[in-house]
Amino acid sequence: MNYPKLKEIVKTTHYGRFENTNKLLEDGFDGIKTGITDTAGPCLAASYKDLIIVVLNSKSMNERWIEVKKLVKWIIKKG
- Structure confidence at residue 34 (pLDDT): 92
Distance CA 71, CA 29 (A): 13
pLDDT in tens, 33-63: 999 999 999 999 999 988 999 999 999 999 9
Distance CA 28, CA 5 (A): 19
Task: Please calculate the CA angle 18-48-6 and round it to the nearest 5 degrees.
Answer: 35
Domain count for the chain: 1
Structural domain including 44 reads: 4-78
Distance CA 28, CA 31 (A): 9
Mean pLDDT value of segment 5-31: 90
Q: In the structure, what pLDDT confidence band is assigned to residue 24 with cuts at 50, 70 and 90?
A: very high
Helix (H) or strand (E) holding 5: helix 4-10
Write out the E strands in 1-79.
Answer: 14-15, 18-19, 31-37, 41-48, 51-55
Quote the pTM value: 0.85
Q: In the structure, what pLDDT confidence band is assigned to residue 79 with cuts at 50, 70 and 90?
A: confident
